[in-house]
Chains A and B, each alone.
Chain A
Amino acid sequence: MADAQREDAAETDTPNANDAQEKTTNSTMVEDSSTTLLKRMEITVAEAEKRTGKKAVNMQETYTVYLIETRPSSAVNEGQSVAPDALWRRYSEFELLRNYLLVTYPFIVVPPLPEKRAEFVWHKLSADNMDPDFVERRRVGLETFLLRVASHPVMSNDKIFYHFLMQERGWKEVVYDTGFQAKADSRLRALNATFRVKNPDKRFMEMKHYSDELQSITSQLLRARARVADRLYGVYKVHGNYGRVFSEWSAIEKEMGDGLQSAGHHMDAYAASIDDILEEEEHYADQIKEYLFFAEALRAVCRKHELSQYELETASLDLTSKKLQREELATGIVRTFSFKGMTTKLFGQETADQREARLKLLEEQIVEGEETVREKTAECEEHVHSGWEDMQRFKEQKDRDLREAFINYAYMQMSMCKKGIQMWSNAKECFSKM
């Protein structure tokens, strides 16, 4: 396992090689970039387990941990059965990782985590975090998250991420040691403040607008879908009553008895079939949900650009104002209002020394200011460049993934129709024998 990083994979990974039987759709995560971690390593979130532990204040808590397994992909490709490296992580650690990535790569659209609490629930689904279906779907979501990060051209090279996958103990300390928390707090504060940007990049503004639309429309879609699922469930389940009554009725009939009895069984089967159908549809809903949360991440990138641009503009303004002050001091012509100027007028001229001192200070500040502006400009340009690049990458990924999701959805609908055809054909045959 030690030289996993050195090994070159000649062919593309199938990230979900072990998911053949499961209904995940991680197949779209293959990136073309040749240096992503995913190329060299197979990552799965294999299991989930309940643990109990002590929280603060002597309270017991129950939580779920997820098993992350990694394997060098070359070994898999060659058919060797290598035991995977494995460690356990809980959801809060994933959150920590993501927060770190958000701060460290502000201009990357960071993949979202699966939802903390079940939303868009229809009546059958439990909103309980301990519910096995919820845990299972979360497991899939966490795996998707890891695979996306691992296949990102930039993030996949991050050391903290690598440690997250490989080193169970002490990882948290390492993360905190990066000092990202402080940066995170200050950025958060800045982002939440309202500020007006004069010249934001138009493309970013359009993206921001798009992200708002995407968020709104996907949550609307998910809500409506959940309601439809609820109703469909009702329709199928009521048919189960036919089964019961047919069975009772067949008892008092002679000629019709057999036909009724067997038709009743098909009605029961029909009623039961909706469970699997809707469970599969949940995976589709999860795919849409991922992009609902992606929309938020996209929006964050645009906001950060705004902040960055704002800081640049502020620094420029500041510099301009200082230069103006210098000019005034040098020439004696007051064009700008300043308290110093006012008090000078009121209380008399300052001495030449004082003026000299002030000029010197201003010069220093101007030099600093110019440096700041240079930095900020470079920063901004870089951010615009990389942000735009990543947003393009994101767009392509989104188009691929969602197209795939809609195709999946069509297959699901077709599967449901085929089941329906089969069951009602059988029922019809039984009825004909009545």
Chain B
Amino acid sequence: MSGNVADSAVSPTTPAQTIPADLSGQMLELDEDDDLEVFSKDTTNTDGRSFSASMQTSPGSMINQYKFDEEEEEEDPGAKDLFITVDNPESHITTIETFITYRVVTKTTRSEFDSSEYEVRRRYQDFLWLRGRLEEAHPTLIVHPLPEKFVMKGMVERFNDDFIETRRRALHRFLNRIAEHPILSCNEDLKVFLSAQAWELASHKKQGPGFLSRMGETVRAVAASVRGVKNRPEEFNSIQEYVESFSQKMTSLDRITQRIVKEEREYLEEMKEYAPTYTLWSGSEEELAEPLKGVANCLDRCFQETEGQVRQLSDCLAPTLHEYVLSTDTLKAVLRRRDNMQAELEAKNEVLAAKRADRDADPRERGVVWQSLLGKNPEEARQQRQQRLAGEIDELKEEIDKLEDRVEWANNALKGDWNRWQRSMRSDLKDAFVSTAQKNVDYYEKCLSVWESFLLSMRADVGGVDQQAGGDS
């Protein structure tokens, strides 16, 4: 799993947006055919939020302790005992490759950590590995998304400063969400990730379930998904439906936001040409020189404010929306994995039923002819068969019991995490939109005062000659 894949070819610049000639009152339609595919094709990189009560590793004991009701679980903020920051990106150049590492600083009072402070450097690959391990260990918990490996549209340069900074922030959020999760934060691999030196981590990565066992899991999963789940509980159906819709909405919002950023950047480009014409003009004038310079100055200052406002969109709102787009992939994967577990259970139950039917069946109808052909005593053969079946049935029953526990725990885990996810989703998106709206208000207020001070200076010159009071709305 090399994290160092060369950037895939950047798609050609967006075809001209379809702006119809007469748009009075209508809005710009988003060009639905735009190739806005920015998802990494790595399917293990699915994301979500997790939010559940404390859990231990044994399924049986977990059911009793797990709270999955709908009530708000207030996590005591004072109980936060794991603080992580991701910062200080640095470039590393070797003969084979160039990559970026980030400094990960951990401060904790948890007893399972040997020390209370750690500082390590990690690269994106390491984060990918960690997330993969977390999902493996907890297939029906919702793990927060990672930023994508690479972006097809827009940014080309993997080592571009903006890209690195956006990624750094996303990685920081990722680790913090994990740290806040009662179950995931106790994960052993997380501990290693946060504390081990580079070579220690490398050797640790090599351990763990081998390739073949993972293959086995995948095969089972595929088989199960082919089989399909027969009796999905209604609540998961409604979650599924919601996730579908929500995914579409988030994708749209993400796209709209990107589009706004793009339009604003083009607006800024044109402003760069416009403002200087006033300055140029002032060179030819006497009386008008001051007003002209004043206007130029206002335009320049508004230009700067606009830059700030665009930054807010692209640094805050867009990444948040994008994370939730990625998040829906995680949700879908989690639902799928839960379904697969249930499908497996259903399959085993079918086998059990078949075997029981077999056991209770009329001996004459089954295998006796076959056995007698082999020269066995029919009565003996029947008893042998009954014994064998009984053994198989017992074995199956044990497996099924375990599976049932597992499925029940998985369902509860998912439900709990689902509630947790919903709460954070509401809170995250609300915060993002509120702060965007606030930033826009601030932006317009600053621009307003810029023009107000220009007007004041104009009035001061002439001493009150002001004929257009009707401009105020």
- A406 in the interface, Cβ–Cβ < 8 Å? yes
Say whether B263 faces chain A, with CB atoms less than 8 Å apart. yes
Given contacts A238-B27, A402-B288, contact A421 B441 (CB under 8 A): yes
Task: Give the number of A-B contacts (CB < 8 Å).
Answer: 195
Q: Which residue of chain A lies nearest to B295 when distances are taken between CB atoms in the complex?
A: A406
Query: Interface residues of A: mostly helix, strand, loop or mixed?
Result: helix
Contact between B466 and A434, CB atoms less than 8 A apart:
no
Chain B residue with the shortest CB-CB distance to A239: B260
Find out whether the CB atom of A241 lies under 8 angstroms from the CB atom of B448. no
Q: Name the contact of B472 in the complex, choosing from A240, A275, A407, A415 (C-beta under 8 A).
A: A415
A174 at the binding interface (Cβ < 8 Å): no
Neighbour of A228 across the interface among B21, B23, B270, B291, CB < 8 A: B270
Q: Does B186 contact A (CB under 8 A)?
A: no
Q: In the complex, which residues 233-262 of chain A have their Cβ closer than 8 Å to any Cβ of chain B? A: 234-235, 237-245, 248-249, 252, 255-256, 259
Pair B271/A27 contact, Cβ less than 8 Å: no
A25 vs B471: C-alpha distance when bound (angstroms): 11
Answer yes or no: B389 CB below 8 A from chain A CBs.
Answer: no
B-chain residues with CB within 8 Å of residue A235 when the two chains form the complex: 260, 263-264, 267
Is B440 at the interface (CB under 8 A from chain A)? yes
The stretch from A139-147, A218-226, A315-323, A378-386 touching chain B is: A218-226
With a cutoff of 8 Å between Cβ atoms, the chain B residues found around residue A25 in the complex are 468
Q: What is the distance, in angstroms, from A236's C-beta to the closest C-beta of chain B?
A: 9
| Contact of A403 (CB < 8 Å), options: B256, B288, B472 | B288
CB of B17, distance to nearest CB on chain A (Å): 8
By beta carbon, the residue of chain B nearest A245 is B252
- Residue A184 at the B interface, CB < 8 A? no
A177 at the interface (CB under 8 A from B): no
Residue from A248, A419, A428 with most neighbouring chain B CB atoms (10 Å): A428
Interface presence of B311 (CB below 8 A): no
The minimal Cβ–Cβ distance linking A329 to chain B, given in whole angstroms, is 54
> Is A431 a contact partner of B437 (Cβ separation < 8 A)?
yes
Q: Which of B267, B277, B451, B467 contacts A224 (CB 8 A)?
A: B277
Q: Is A330 an interface residue (CB 8 A)?
A: no
User: How far is it, in angstroms, between the C-alpha of A95 and the C-alpha of B426 when the chains are bound?
Assistant: 65
Contact status A248-B249, CB under 8 Å: yes
B256 and A238 contact, CB distance less than 8 A = yes
Q: For the complex, is B273 an interface residue (Cβ under 8 Å from A)?
A: yes
A434 to B429, CA, bound (A): 9
A249 to B250, CA, bound (A): 9
CA distance A240 to B23 in the complex (A): 12
| Complex CA–CA separation, A217 to B280 (angstroms) | 7
- Could you tell me if A424 and B444 are in contact, using CB atoms closer than 8 angstroms? yes
Identify which of residues 430-473 in chain B touch chain A, using a CB-to-CB cut-off of 8 Å. 430, 433-434, 437-438, 440-441, 443-445, 447-448, 451-452, 454-455, 458, 462, 466-468, 471-473
> Judging by beta carbons under 8 Å apart, are A234 and B263 in contact?
yes
Tell yes or no: A408 within 8 A of B by CB: yes
Could you tell me which residues of chain A, from 387 to 434, have a CB within 8 Å of some CB in chain B? 398-399, 402-404, 406-415, 417-421, 424-425, 427-428, 431-432, 434
Give A residues with C-beta under 8 Å from B: 25, 27-28, 123-124, 126, 210, 213-214, 217-218, 220-221, 224-225, 227-228, 230-232, 234-235, 237-245, 248-249, 252, 255-256, 259, 263, 268, 271-272, 275, 398-399, 402-404, 406-415, 417-421, 424-425, 427-428, 431-432, 434
Task: Identify the 5 closest CB pairs spanning chains A and B, nearest first.
Answer: A411-B471, A240-B27, A428-B437, A231-B267, A420-B444
Seed contacts A220-B277, A271-B27; 11 additional CB < 8 Å A-B pairs: A25-B468, A124-B24, A217-B281, A227-B270, A248-B249, A249-B245, A252-B245, A410-B298, A414-B472, A421-B448, A432-B430
Interface residues of B (CB under 8 A from A): 17, 19, 21-30, 242, 245-246, 249, 252-253, 256, 259-260, 263-264, 266-267, 269-271, 273-274, 277-278, 280-281, 284, 287-288, 291-292, 294-295, 298, 302, 426, 429-430, 433-434, 437-438, 440-441, 443-445, 447-448, 451-452, 454-455, 458, 462, 466-468, 471-473
